[in-house]
Amino acid sequence: MKQLSFFEILSFGPDGWGHVLLTGALMSVALAVTGFLLGAVIGVFGAWAKISGGRVTRTIADGYTTVIRGIPDLLIIYLFYFGGSAAITAIGKLFGAEGFLGFPGFLAGMLAIAISCGAHHTEVFRGAFKAVAKGELEAATACGMGRWMKFRRIIAPLSLRHALPGLGNVWQVSLKESALVSVTGVVELLRQAQIGAGSTGLPFNFFLIAGALYLLISSISGGILQSAERYFSRGVRRAQ
């Protein structure tokens, strides 16, 4: 077998691995984005429960964030994949299906990332809301704004301004967690690098390329988040 050079691995020709590595990178981004967004929805409800909920909802939200942040992310993925597979297999047997029915790997990974990131989102949103000055909320109430209008025009924009730095950290976590989803059979970037390393006997080259791609994705997304932070911080004087 011809020994591929570093740049031949990156090529999109018949002997190159560029197209499959790119496909794996896109799969990683898809997992991270969907998990991050669904986690944000969970985080909004979790923050609301901690801030405005009753005793029961606060207890549930506190238990959720404590448990999820205290167990490994890989374990959460295993629980969703094998737990979901067991549930689907049991349901399938009720309808006459035989054998093991696997839970979709992408769905299991996305849900696991969402549940894991949701706990971090909850704390980020809760802290961001607490950072909003009470006087601004009281002024909105004094102007006669209803609950929905106050949320849309005052709470959401000001909370998002304070939340963006923390959301950037949560995004980085979701991107790194996507590398664990290969245990469900999903061929994302790191799994594709493992396949290439095993096929060519060049593990250092493939893992170096995978690391560079992760860094590229992280840098681009970080730049986007920094632009959003500057946009929502217009008119705010920064400390020198």
pLDDT, tens only, 149-194: 888 888 888 888 889 889 999 999 999 999 999 999 899 999 999 9
Span 34-55, mean pLDDT?
A: 93
Is residue 13's pLDDT more than 70?
yes
Question: What is the C-alpha R_g of the chain?
Answer: 22
The pLDDT value recorded for residue 170 is 94
Span 53-70, mean pLDDT?
A: 92
- Please give the CATH topology (third level) of the domain spanning 6-232: MetI-like fold (1.10.3720)
Residue type, 239: A
Angle at 115 between CA 112 and CA 116, to 5 degrees: 85
Q: What is the dihedral of CA 183, 187, 190, 191, to 10 degrees?
A: 70
Q: What are the tens digits of pLDDT across the range 99-156? A: 778 889 999 999 999 999 999 999 999 999 888 888 877 788 888 887 788 888 888 8
The pLDDT value recorded for residue 160 is 85
